[in-house]
Amino acid sequence: MKIYVCKDYERMGRVAANYLAAQINIKPDSVLGLATGSTPVGMYKELVKKYESRDISFKDIVTFNLDEYVNLPKENINSYYTFMHENLFDKIDINPENINMPDGNAKDFDSYSKEYEKAIALKGGIDLQVLGIGNNAHIGFNEPGEYFSKETTVVDLTRSTIDANSRFFDSIDEVPNQAISMGIGTIFKSEKIILLASGKTKAEAIKNTVNGPIDPHVPASILQLHKNVLLIIDEQAASLLDKNCYETV
């Protein structure tokens, strides 16, 4: 696991966008796994700038998003569908047919989840997966538990995640208590993974991910076993790490 520590959130977004742009330049038909939430917003802004200056094109890029809330209409301002369109998809030249997002309103989640897995496999798997991390070290919406989840499935959100995400909603009662999420097994099959984290509230999760034992109660800790993981985090998120274990960029 390689770790880059950036001075602040803005720098983290630029470093992450440069990494994605390099991937897009070397493989213009890359399959990208994408995350939502506040952490990747700066990275998406930088990617849009790179698209506008013709540094990169998304015309042959395929995307699969990590997760979506269950039973939230996709037009809702807080759906990840809306988030991705507002922050990225509506601002770039991606072919809408190449956008894949889990459907939080699917009729039959069991068969839908299998279809989502199949769609990823049909595209040859994910070349580069972008992750954020929850305060409780969840990745995707794979919450701490007794085992590492395998495939895409519906998950119950923990109180900690509902509390953290309530900042986007008018009241905590409006936060859905379930989401459909790629499994940890799905995420793990990606060729390369970058995980972004910013701010003091992520410092403990980052410390446990990097130094702690591999434990399903710290879902991100499984990334220690992946062959190609880069953490791009800011100084606050890195504040509990030993200075010898990262590079400052």
Residues 144 and 218: beta-carbon distance below 8 Å: yes
The residue sitting closest to ligand F6R, measured at its beta carbon, is: 132
Looking at 111-119, 134-142, 217-225, 240-248, which segment touches ligand F6R (CB under 6 A)? 134-142
- Position 219 contacts ligand F6R (CB under 6 A): no
Sorted by sequence, the CB contacts under 8 Å of residue 47 that are 6+ apart come out as: 17, 20, 21, 56, 88, 92
Does position 139 bind ligand F6R by CB under 6 A? yes
Q: Quick check: 38 binds ligand F6R (CB under 6 A)? A: yes
Between 3 and 37, CB nearer to ligand F6R: 37
Q: Are 69 and 176 in contact (CB under 8 A)?
A: yes
Specify whether 138 is catalytic. yes
Q: Is 132 in the site for ligand F6R (CB under 6 A)?
A: yes
Q: What's the CA dihedral at 55, 127, 194, 152 to 10 degrees? A: 130
Which span (36-44, 70-78, 103-111, 149-157) binds ligand F6R, by CB under 6 A? 36-44
Residue 36 in the binding site for ligand F6R (CB under 6 A): yes
Residue 54: Cβ-neighbour burial (10 angstroms; 0-12, 13-18, 19+): exposed
What single DSSP character describes residue 20? Answer: H
Query: Is 143 an active-site residue?
Result: yes
**Active-site residue among 46, 68, 117, 143?**
143
